[in-house]
Amino acid sequence: MREHIRLGRVAGIDVGINWSVLAIFLLITLGLAAGRFPLLVPGLAPVAYLTAGLVAGLIFFLSLLAHELAHALVAQRNGVEVEGITLWLFGGVARLKGDAPDPGAELRISGVGPLVSLALGGLFFVVRAVSAALGLHALVVDVFTWLSLINVVLAVFNLVPAAPLDGGRILRAILWHRRGDRTGSAITAARAGKGFGWLLVVVGFVFLLLVPGLSGLWLMFVGWFLIAAARAEEQQAELSGVLADVRVREVMSPHPTTAPASVSVQQFLDGYVFPYRYSTFPLTEDDGTLAGLVSLKRVKAVPAEDRWRVAVRGVACPIDDVPIVAPDDSVVDVLPRMADCADGRALVVEGGRLVGIVSPTDVMRQLEIAELRHHPARAHHL
């Protein structure tokens, strides 16, 4: 999930939000301002409830950020590179480049998030108690009551042993430790996630029929999301199992044709796109250093009348955003990095020299070969 609004860096980690955060923030704010707060603390002006709702919603998302930041920091301590953190509709996600190296690291990375949420729940409960003892307004007290409750609920929900929730990753770590099989454990956790998702859908449907309001519809929505996310994790686990021992040098296209970053888009089309059959070209500076990666998809976005005026580097993915990998890197570790700006590609560099490029087509071909090897034809006897 790539963020649409970049907020900056926290502890050296990029933090951003998806536009969907605005929708859930609005729902939380209005739900508290028009529902909970007037019910529990009646008789105040609407602006007081709205202000309390805004403050509670903002602190809640800061709590989510703390939850995800804990995952990211522990991941870094355990040797897993962190691409960034994105807050979105269902909370947040710490985007990790690769998997935990062992079950213990998986357990630490997964378990720290719920622990932070529980700690925040306890902290807000203490603040709530102190606020009440000091005689602060009941609305202020209830803001901290809600924050305490919602963080505990977040921790408990995330501990459900069903991927992609933290509890599912904890389950995967435990099964991995017992079985010694990372792939099989990940598939089991993902299937548990699908089961839990279907349970939420069924319960939500019953609520929708029997209980007034939209709580049932919300449960069904969350359930469908978990089913889709768990299915994606199951497919990713199966993919990782097939490619577990495959190295980048086995799938890459060697000796890719490069183009100068300084030429115009039209010169790039005439000199490289039309004469060659490739859809993606690494770009180089005049001194031969890599400058970026440009695809036909990016070039097509330039209007025809601007092709002589716009330099190809202006539409390319900058080299800092292009995954740079080594020939002996595992394809499984490279796959999560082949997204976003680089249009699914990675450049392969050895000894400071570009030696190849990896595309989704290269990976798919390797998968097809692996499938043929795992399902050999049976001998036919006349």
Catalytic residue numbers? 68
Distance between CA atoms of 204 and 222, rounded to whole angstroms?
A: 9
Distance between CA atoms of 50 and 55, rounded to whole angstroms?
A: 9
Considering only CA atoms, which of 1, 36, 38 is closest in space to residue 16? 1
Instruction: Output the CA angle 367-79-98, nearest 5 degrees.
Output: 20
DSSP helix/strand/coil, 254: strand
My answer on whether omega of the bond before 260 falls inside 30° of 0, hence cis, is no
Distance between CA atoms of 311 and 302, rounded to whole angstroms?
A: 10
Provide the token pair at 364.
């798919």
Report the 10 Å Cβ neighbour count for 253: 15
Backbone angles phi, psi at 262, to 5 degrees: -85, -15
Write the single-letter amino acid at 266. Answer: Q
Rg of the chain, C-alpha, whole Å: 25
Q: DSSP letter string over 167-214?
A: HHHHHHHHHHHHHS-HHHHHHHHHHHHHHHHHHHHHHHHHHHHHSSSS
Query: Crossing angle, helix 103-133 and helix 46-77, to 10 degrees?
Result: 150
DSSP annotation of 256 reads: P
DSSP helix/strand/coil, 301: coil
